[in-house]
Amino acid sequence: MNYLTFHSAIIWHVNLSQTVLGVRFENPTVLASGIMGVTAGSWKRAARCGAGAVTTKSIWLREHKGHPNPVIISTPHWTLNAVGVPDAGYEKAREEIGEFLKDKPVPLIVNIIAETVENYSKTAEVLLPLKPDFLEVNISCPNIEHEFGKPFACSASDAAAVTQAVKGVCKGTPVFIKLSPNADSIGRIAAACAAAGADGFTAINTAGPGMAIDLRSRMPILANRVGGLSGPAIKPISVRCIAEVYEATGGKLPIIGTGGVCTGEDAIELMLAGASLIGIGTAVGDRGMDVFQKVCDEMQAWCASEGVKDVKELVGGMHHAVARVESGKKS
Amino acid sequence: MSIPLQSRLPRTYRIKHVKQETEMVRTFTFDGSLGAKPGQFAMVWLPGADEVPMSVACDDGATTRITFFAAGGMTNELAKLRVGDLAGLRGPFGTHYEWERGQHIVLVAGGYGAAPMYFVAKETAMHDCTLDVIVGARSNDHLLYVEELESLPHVSLHLATDDGSAGHKGFGTDILEKLLSSCHRPAAARPIDATSAPRISTRSDNGKCSPIDQIFGCGPEMMLKRISEMCAKYEVTAQLSMERYMKCGYGLCGNCVMDPLGIRICKEGPVVSNEVLLQLTEFGKYYRDDLGKKHSFDAIRKQR
């Protein structure tokens, strides 16, 4: 029986669980990196609020200062952030992760960042003994060894070099590369990372950068002047990027689709573009910590109304639909 | 989705009035209202410098007041502003103090915690509340909002200074302990058959004491910790205003979270019930800096 009879209404039982690279997720929602990511208690709370998995903030090898405030500003349509990836280094992260693992409620994705290829692999190496379910690599940091400090995420060769270095130290842990929408061709970067051994992708990091100006003082509001754009406004960009990554890798590698998801229908749209799991970040501010449960309930309701029994069948659905239409035209 | 009332983008307002409260403390009155309630905070932005959380000292629907201590960095720069200058406000954020009509409330303020407590005192006047307000500071020169509080007819004011230059020599919490012990009996001291009895106790000998319905606290964390312990002992409800390093102000970044519950002080705080605080093991033990690194209050005390 794939449906339950409740009073006179028929409620479809929709399977939201996913198994990705051997890891089981009770539902596809994932707390995105950088949101509520500082303490073990925050991750546990996200899990209590329905998150299928949690991601840590980006962890550096050593202590890393962020920018002065204001670092996060928003309207209902968009959020700009220039927090500057502050972090106390891997030792503090080990303490928090250790606390989370004591009674781990959901899978854990550990996000790392570095300014050199070598430090990416070193950071991965010191955190791997904690056995994260996935390692997510934030490659949006400027490469200090590059002549113009270009971010790793904007160069196929640099992104591939990071992937290869991290994969070199990760034995059984799947490595997800977090891609930037600011690359000339996100598909080309994804293909290069896939060739270098990436197990999956997170798409996308924030877009932009953007700027906001206070009218009276005529000053940029963010202390860093510019910041990454997130929130509902970037969803069309994330949908396009996920679709490109899916195509560039033949739909073979799992994608954590992130960017502008507020509702269950947003999540479904990202799945149709090719995402298996759905990162939620900015929406925590607008819909509350229980946004994960809300998104799951909305996905359930939509799937039930459309007769979808398992969310797996949605993954990459847009590509299948296009192929069907195209083949129909040919015949 | 509805547009939230609070502003998550700072907007600059002109300073309408500047009052020098003490050598290091100033009050700015801004020409504009955030619609803030007592206990809520705003992120105060000095363009080109920094943005810090500050309790709203008063919001009367037309103007907003903040009282701050020039404690270095951005606050020193902010203190240089004059009437007509611009500073940004973002908010109001977080929870506020809550009370019911006719309640007897004790407010305990330490240092510049007196500012939001004045806001509470002013608002509770409209709800027939009776207040005992305890204001503590290092010395007479550092006491804040004394005249304003004295002018409110429903307020009995108690002062405490470390050096005894005004009021009781010692902590404000010493006065609180006296008030509690004269009106209430500690839970452990009650006869067994009275444990389920209401928290009200008999009147004290002078007959003036009425049972305390609630205690509100705002000030240094070790003071709040002491209030929390006393309120647990006497089984009196308390709402205490917590301080943590804040960035976004609306529950997104997680920098101000208190563990193990993952409570966001900018969102589920700053005013937190003692019931919740008693479950937060980090309360009175440590806080986190802008990097998320822990600093113990013990170590800070020893350094001093």
**Cβ atoms A38, A46 nearer than 8 A:** no
Among A49, A141, A154, A296, the active-site one is A141
- pLDDT score recorded for residue B6: 58
- pLDDT score recorded for residue B279: 97
Residues B262, A76: C-beta atoms closer than 8 Å: no
Domains and CATH numbers, chain A: 3-330 (3.20.20.70)
- pLDDT score recorded for residue A13: 84
The CATH class given to the B97-241 domain equals alpha beta
CATH 2.40.30.10 residue window(s) in chain B: 7-93
> In chain B, where do the E strands start and end?
7-20, 25-30, 41-46, 50-59, 64-69, 86-93, 104-110, 130-137, 155-161, 168-169, 214-218, 237-241, 257-258, 263-264, 271-273, 286-288, 294-296
Interface residue of A61, A217, A289 to substitute, partner B, most B CBs within 10 Å: A217
Token pair for A198: 């990436």
Chain A to chain B, count of Cβ pairs less than 8 Å apart? 138
- Which residues of chain A have a pLDDT value below 70? 1-12
B7-93 has CATH 2.40.30.10 classification: yes
pLDDT over 80 (residue B134): yes
Residues A285, B252: C-beta atoms closer than 8 Å: yes
Please write the tens of the pLDDT for every residue from A212-228: 999 999 999 999 999 99
- Going A2 to A279 to A323 to A303, the CA torsion angle's sign is positive
User: Hey, is the C-beta of A211 within 8 angstroms of any chain B C-beta?
Assistant: no
Give the HSE-up count for residue B9: Cα atoms under 13 Å, Cβ half-sphere. 17
Interface residue of B14, B248, B286 to substitute, partner A, most A CBs within 10 Å: B248
Catalytic site includes residue A170: no
Kindly report the average pLDDT of chain B as a whole number: 90
Please write the tens of the pLDDT for every residue from A52-108: 999 999 999 999 999 999 999 999 999 999 998 999 999 999 999 999 999 999 999
